[in-house]
Amino acid sequence: MNRPFAIGDKVLLLDSKLRRYLITLAEGAEFHTHAGLVPHADFVGRPEGVVLTSTKGAAYTALRPTLEDFVLEMPRGAQVIYPKDLAPICMIADIGPGVRVLESGVGSGALSMTMLRYGAEIVGYEIREDFLNRAYNNVRSFLGDDVLGRYQLQLRDCYEGIAERDFDRVVLDLPEPWQVIPHAAEALRPGGILVAYTPSIMQAAQTREAMANKAWSFTRTLEVLHRGWHIEGRAVRPDHRMVAHTGFLTTGRFLG
């Protein structure tokens, strides 16, 4: 997307200390901090990477936010699944263009956005209307109206059943995903894949127990650890901090 900024675009601003600010350009609006203000109009027509100066002389570099940027900075109600788990979920579930997904527990929409970016067609179940609306607005805000034809949200409880049939994938972010396993067996086509994200290993173990029958194969549970490295000249070492545990990914393939 190599075009100048326009009204309605999202912009990620970096100050001299690399602090991040996410704004949406609007008519007549201004970006304010203790270091002065910058009118949104100053960004319009300018290319990505432009450096603008506030009324107090602070410099801000303007970039288009990536999906990772937006997930970390977007409005949220529920705790989001973080980028280190979003990409593995899409790989494990083999998400791609035209893949039909039942997602339950849409939360703030981080996983929805990622799967939609991959080209999936999503039916989302969410029991809280405020979360459902937040997810819809976040998806629309970042990906635009064009994806909404592939994003159908319903105020429903997945524990009580799945109304639709012939899904390619079932992806769950729920406290008790094992309750959905029998419903997933009815909703998935043979060869379909289920992935459940759970914070606790006991939740993962109970999910695996529910899948311990001939209908499911290739079941496994894993977690993803994210460790950065400090590289500065000859000083090369692991970072003192790392993003270790966030959740477990449990998956299996439905044989029918």
CA angle, 159 then 89 then 147, to 5°? 80
Domains of the chain and CATH, by start: 10-65 (3.10.330.20), 69-254 (3.40.50.150)
pLDDT of residue 73: 84
Considering Cα of 205, then 214, then 102, then 186, what sign does the dihedral take?
negative
Q: pTM of the predicted model, to two decimals?
A: 0.89
pLDDT at 1 over 70: no
pLDDT of residue 48: 95
Mean pLDDT of the chain: 95
Quote the CA–CA distance of 135 and 48 in Å, as a whole number: 27
- Condensed to tens digits (0 to 9), the pLDDT of residues 20-56 reads 999 999 999 999 999 999 999 999 999 999 999 999 9
pLDDT of residue 219: 98
Q: How many residues does the chain have?
A: 256
Token look-up 């999910």 returns 207
Phi, psi angle pair for 208, to nearest 5°:
-60, -40
pLDDT of residue 170: 98
pLDDT of residue 203: 98
Phi, psi angle pair for 33, to nearest 5°:
-140, 180
pLDDT at 79 over 90: no
